[in-house]
């Protein structure tokens, strides 16, 4: 179970902007499906990388933010995730390797979404063929049965 207790108060190293982020006591990373690129379907936690954009315009990682305290609640904003449409610009602009890795990983996962859809269709068709096959095929699973795994 994901449990949040208050907020972490953070300062950006680039300009000193202040933010508040949930203070997690525990995290549940359960999801409907886990993909090899790290994407999770219907995850209980966000899928994104730690890449963020400060209000001053700089790209930063969550680990770059300096914790300045905790509180039960705060009116401070959360530090913004980088919108998908800004990722190509972000990748071109970055010169720091950890930031570029985070941006490229996030962009790669987004570009994989059409393949996830195709793969689901393939798996659904395979399962339907198996489900609709005679029970003798399901028990023996010879390679000649529709939907048999090789």
Kindly tell me which of 11 and 148 has the beta carbon lying closer to Zn ion: 11
In 9-150, which residue ranges form alpha helices assigned H by DSSP?
Answer: 87-93, 97-111, 113-132, 135-140
- CA–CA separation, 72 vs 9, rounded Å? 10
Query: Of 2, 108, 120, 135, whose CA–CA distance to 49 is shortest?
Result: 108
For 33, phi and psi rounded to 5 degrees?
-150, 145
Out of 27, 44, 45, 56, which residue is the one contacting Zn ion (CB under 5 A)?
56
Out of 6, 8, 11, 14, which residue is the one contacting Zn ion (CB under 5 A)?
14
Q: How far is the CB of 58 from Zn ion (least distance, A)?
A: 5
Out of 15, 45, 125, 140, which residue is the one contacting Zn ion (CB under 5 A)?
15
Instruction: Tell me: does residue 148 bind Zn ion (CB under 5 A).
Output: no
Instruction: Choose the stretch contacting Zn ion; rule: CB under 5 A; options: 14-22, 85-93, 105-113, 139-147.
Output: 14-22
- CA–CA separation, 22 vs 3, rounded Å? 10
Question: Binding-site residue total for Zn ion (CB under 5 A)?
Answer: 7
Query: Of 123, 94, 138, 143, whose CA–CA distance to 35 is shortest?
Result: 123
For 115, phi and psi rounded to 5 degrees?
-70, -30
Instruction: Tell me: does residue 54 bind Zn ion (CB under 5 A).
Output: yes
Kindly tell me which of 12 and 109 has the beta carbon lying closer to Zn ion: 12
Binding site for Zn ion (CB under 5 A): 12, 14-15, 17, 54, 56, 58
């Amino acid at each position: 179970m994901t449990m949040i207790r208050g907020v972490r108060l953070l300062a950006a190293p680039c300009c000193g902007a202040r933010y508040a982020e949930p203070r997690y006591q525990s995290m549940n990373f359960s999801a409907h499906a886990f993909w090899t690129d790290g994407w999770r379907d219907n995850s209980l936690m966000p899928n994104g990388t730690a890449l963020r954009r400060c209000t001053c315009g700089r790209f930063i990682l969550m680990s770059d933010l300096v914790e300045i305290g905790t509180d039960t609640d705060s009116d401070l904003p959360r530090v913004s995730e980088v919108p998908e449409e800004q990722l190509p610009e972000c990748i071109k602009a970055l010169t720091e390797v950890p930031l570029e890795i985070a941006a490229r990983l996030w962009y790669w996962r987004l570009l994989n979404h059409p393949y996830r859809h195709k793969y689901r269709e393939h798996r659904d068709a395979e399962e339907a063929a198996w489900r609709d096959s005679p029970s003798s095929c399901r028990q023996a699973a010879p390679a000649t049965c529709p939907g048999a795994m090789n």
